[in-house]
Amino acid sequence: QVQLLESGGGLVQAGGSLRLSCASSGRTFSNYAIGWFRQATGKEREFVAVISRNGGATTYADSIKGRFTISRDNANITVYLQMNSLKPEDTAVYYCAANLNYMTRNSFQYEHWGQGTQVTVSS
């Protein structure tokens, strides 16, 4: 069982930066690909980024490519999402999720989810 806990959200002005963390309590953390998703008010949850089990491969949504960077530290069982050049349209609740089998953009294929952390970008 993998339990995930996001942190690092908050209020930031447009153009600013935040770093989100996704910490796990499970010893099998390195067996999972980890994805970040976000959901804005009134909108469906959307894929943001995903990182492979060993951190060697990453995939990003086009909307954030070049601005966000996903990374992981398996020793400290944490995945990070560095968010730069933030825009008001990045405002959402951000979730991390774990997938045992493969990297995927499909949220329905993730077995474990965190509670989410709110990111608000003011204009």
pLDDT of 55: 92
Summarize pLDDT for 29-59 with one digit per residue, the tens.
889 999 999 999 999 999 999 999 999 999 9
Strands 10-13 and 18-24: unpaired
**Residue 122 to residue 106: CA distance in whole angstroms:** 29
**Residue 51 to residue 80: CA distance in whole angstroms:** 10
Task: Name the residue with higher pLDDT: 77 or 19.
Answer: 19
The answer on pLDDT for 1 being more than 90 is no
Quickly list DSSP for 63-76.
Answer: TTTTTEEEEEETTT
The answer on pLDDT for 117 being more than 80 is yes
Amino acid at 110: Y
Tell me how far CA of residue 1 lies from CA of 7, 14, 55, 117, in angstroms: 20, 37, 20, 21
Summarize pLDDT for 56-94 with one digit per residue, the tens.
999 999 999 999 999 999 887 899 999 999 999 999 999
The first and second tokens of residue 35, run together, are 């994805």
**Over residues 16-37, mean pLDDT:** 92
Dihedrals phi, psi of 61, to nearest 5 degrees = -70, 150
Find the length of the chain.
123
